[in-house]
């Protein structure tokens, strides 16, 4: 389980990274985060949706409804926009820099 | 959908309006349904599975607050305050013009602010009902209407219908009244939101095109005929359904979803063609050939991909491609035979519509629901 403040601080980077490969719907994003990080990132389910809508509003992702294969209500799939892809690259670079600088403090 | 889930969805979306509220509800409903299935597969009863799904989703208040901040309050910056002032001045004047609020282009920004969150641009029509219109239409039929101010953005109207006796509670946007001045403004309600709220509580019929009417609980509301065309467009926008002069929608069945009810009520193509004469283009799908239909450069023209069975049609793709003739787009292509349908509110003249055929390179296959396509720089145009 991650430190919640770390999760919050990097939420955009995490969500954009998960959406990089293919469009995904909310629950898929949650389970992908869980699986890919061995449970390290465990989202509060309800808080995910306002976060996704915030990214949509910022035009970093777009969303479209598609039928559910379980026959229930339609799922809303999110995918990266060009601006989202750029933002992801930038956030990733910032994170790498930060990471390497912090690491440099104890690897002297 | 069980009552707990319904209540949860309502609580999570209270304070949101119109189309956005509907979207968020549907998104959350899909999430809950998926989780319920997971828990049922793990051996829980349906009721237990629902409880677990809701618990895991967290408090509805948290979602509501997150969404409300996004789709309402942040818009009230400096420009918002200015527009709020405009709204405060303009709304009572427009309300006095006509009970059915039709968005005039000059005032669209101010009127947009009435929903606080701004979902529709000025190009789109959004019919609004004023509280005064509801009173004028319903009180002569014996309905008493009481109003309860909830907060500065919303209020509640209770329609007390005498025969058969029923009280219908409606939440509505109260206008940007100023709390300091304690001066309540008339309330407003989007037509689609009004119908949905009524339909949640009782059966509702919608009839006519030239004389658009709503009938519920033995009372009726008839709309100014000059707005019928716009109401019809609004209906199509919200429910993918064209109302016609002779069409009467039977009351919703128990548990039937409102928008689905409308969609499935379209029984034949003729129903579609009676009003707006949609332009139909049918192509056969090939794995290596992709057909796009481009329409005139008008954002009102939506391109909709439907499967072959119109009665069970599902919108797979509704973005306008008018501005993305080149470059990368994502398109959902069902693996079954399909055709493209485009609908026009005002059918364009021949020269404005082209059928664009090209061979798209499939850059990424095996997505959950289709292919991602890269449009080639050069394309072949083939008029239909």
SS3 B26: helix
Q: How confident is the model at residue B139, as a pLDDT?
A: 93
CATH number, domain at A87? 1.10.10.10
Answer yes or no: is pLDDT of B329 > 70.
no
What's the CA angle centered on B164, arms B160 and B166, to 5 degrees? 35
Distance CA B149, CA B156 (A): 6
Does residue B164 have a cis peptide bond before it, meaning omega lies within 30 degrees of 0? yes
pLDDT band for B29, please (50, 70, 90 cuts): very high
Q: How confident is the model at residue A21, as a pLDDT?
A: 85
Range B299-314 average pLDDT: 33
Distance CA B112, CA B134 (A): 21
Q: How confident is the model at residue A7, as a pLDDT?
A: 67
Query: Between B29 and B71, where is the model more confident?
Result: B29
pLDDT digits (tens, 9 = 90+) for B280-291: 333 333 333 333
SS3 B114: helix
Answer yes or no: is pLDDT of B249 > 70.
no
Distance CA B168, CA B320 (A): 39
Q: Of B238, B327, B369, which to mutate for an interface test with A (greatest number of A Cβ within 10 Å)?
A: B369
Tally of domains within chain A? 1
Q: Is the pTM of this model over 0.80?
A: no
Q: How confident is the model at residue B24, as a pLDDT?
A: 92
Q: How confident is the model at residue B365, as a pLDDT?
A: 32
pLDDT band for B251, please (50, 70, 90 cuts): low
Q: How confident is the model at residue B324, as a pLDDT?
A: 33
B310 and chain A in contact, CB less than 8 A: no
Q: How confident is the model at residue A52, as a pLDDT?
A: 94
A51 and chain B in contact, CB less than 8 A: yes
Q: Which of A46, A64, A66 sits opposite B57 (nearest CB)?
A: A46
pLDDT digits (tens, 9 = 90+) for B91-129: 433 333 333 333 222 223 222 222 222 223 333 345 667
Q: Which of B34, B317, B369 sits opposite A27 (nearest CB)?
A: B34
Query: Between B129 and B258, where is the model more confident?
Result: B129
Highest mean pLDDT among B121-125, B258-262, B283-287, B374-378: B258-262
Q: How confident is the model at residue B45, as a pLDDT?
A: 82
Supply the mean pLDDT for chain B: 55
The parent domain of residue A43 ranges over 4-106
Q: How confident is the model at residue B257, as a pLDDT?
A: 52
Q: How confident is the model at residue B232, as a pLDDT?
A: 63
Give ipTM to 2 decimals: 0.91
Range B184-213 average pLDDT: 68
Low-confidence ranges of chain A (pLDDT < 70): 1-8, 42, 69-71, 108
- % chain B with pLDDT above 70: 34
Query: Between B84 and A28, where is the model more confident?
Result: A28
Q: How confident is the model at residue A74, as a pLDDT?
A: 84
Range B306-323 average pLDDT: 30
B56 and chain A in contact, CB less than 8 A: yes
Distance CA B208, CA B360 (A): 44
Answer yes or no: is pLDDT of B347 > 80.
no
Distance CA B179, CA B327 (A): 50
B290-293 LR contacts (CB < 8 Å, sep 24+)? B290/B331, B290/B333, B290/B358, B290/B359, B290/B360, B290/B373, B291/B340, B291/B355, B291/B356, B291/B357, B292/B321, B292/B340, B292/B356, B292/B357, B292/B358, B293/B340, B293/B342, B293/B353, B293/B355, B293/B356
Min Cα separation B315/chain A (Å): 8
- Residues on chain B touching A53 (C-beta within 8 angstroms): 24, 66-67, 70-71
Q: Of B27, B53, B67, which to mutate for an interface test with A (greatest number of A Cβ within 10 Å)?
A: B27
Q: How confident is the model at residue B208, as a pLDDT?
A: 59
Pair B152, B180: CB distance under 8 Å: no
């Amino acid at each position: 389980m991650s430190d919640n403040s770390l999760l919050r601080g990097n939420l955009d980077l995490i969500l954009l990274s998960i959406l990089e490969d293919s469009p995904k719907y909310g629950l898929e994003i949650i389970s992908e985060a869980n699986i890919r990080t061995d449970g390290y990132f465990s989202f509060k389910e309800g808080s995910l949706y306002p976060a996704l809508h915030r990214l949509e509003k910022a035009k970093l992702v777009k969303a479209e409804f598609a039928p559910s294969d379980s026959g229930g209500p339609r799922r809303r799939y999110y995918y990266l926009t060009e601006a989202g892809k750029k933002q992801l690259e930038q956030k990733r670079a910032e994170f790498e820099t930060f990471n390497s600088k912090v690491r440099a403090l104890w690897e002297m | 959908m069980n009552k707990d889930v319904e209540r949860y969805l309502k609580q999570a979306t209270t304070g949101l309006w119109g189309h956005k509220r509907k979207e968020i509800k549907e998104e959350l409903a899909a999430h809950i349904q998926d989780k319920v299935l997971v828990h049922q597969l793990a051996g829980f009863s349906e009721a237990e599975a629902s409880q677990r799904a809701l618990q895991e989703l967290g408090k509805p208040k948290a979602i509501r607050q997150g969404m409300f901040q996004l789709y309402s309050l942040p818009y009230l910056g400096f420009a918002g305050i200015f527009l709020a002032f405009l709204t405060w001045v303009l709304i009572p004047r427009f309300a006095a013009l006509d009970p059915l609020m039709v968005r005039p282009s000059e005032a669209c920004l101010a009127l947009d602010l009435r929903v606080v969150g701004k979902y529709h641009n000025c190009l789109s029509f959004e019919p609004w009902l004023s509280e005064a219109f509801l009173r004028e239409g319903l009180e002569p039929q014996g309905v008493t209407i009481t109003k309860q101010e909830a907060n500065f953005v919303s209020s509640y109207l209770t329609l007390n219908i005498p025969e058969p006796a029923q009280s219908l509670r409606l939440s509505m946007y109260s206008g940007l009244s100023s709390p300091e001045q304690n001066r309540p403004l008339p309330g407003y309600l989007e037509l689609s939101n009004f119908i949905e709220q009524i339909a949640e509580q009782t059966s509702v019929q919608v009839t006519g095109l030239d004389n658009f009417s709503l009938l519920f609980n033995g009372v009726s509301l008839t709309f100014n005929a000059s707005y019928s065309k716009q109401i019809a467009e609004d209906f199509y926008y919200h429910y993918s359904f064209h109302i016609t002069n002779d069409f009467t929608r039977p009351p919703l069945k128990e548990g039937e979803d409102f928008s689905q009810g409308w969609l499935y009520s379209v029984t034949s193509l003729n129903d579609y063609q009676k009003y707006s004469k949609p332009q139909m283009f049918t192509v056969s799908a090939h794995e290596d050939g992709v057909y796009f239909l481009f329409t005139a450069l008008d954002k009102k023209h939506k391109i909709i991909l439907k499967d072959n069975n119109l009665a069970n049609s599902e919108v797979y793709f509704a973005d306008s491609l008018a501005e993305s003739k080149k470059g990368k787009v994502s398109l959902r292509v069902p693996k079954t035979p399909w055709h493209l349908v485009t609908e026009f509110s005002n059918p364009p003249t021949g020269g404005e519509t082209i059928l664009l055929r090209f061979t798209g390179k499939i850059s990424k296959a095996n997505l959950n629901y289709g292919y991602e396509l890269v449009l080639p720089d050069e394309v072949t145009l083939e008029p239909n």
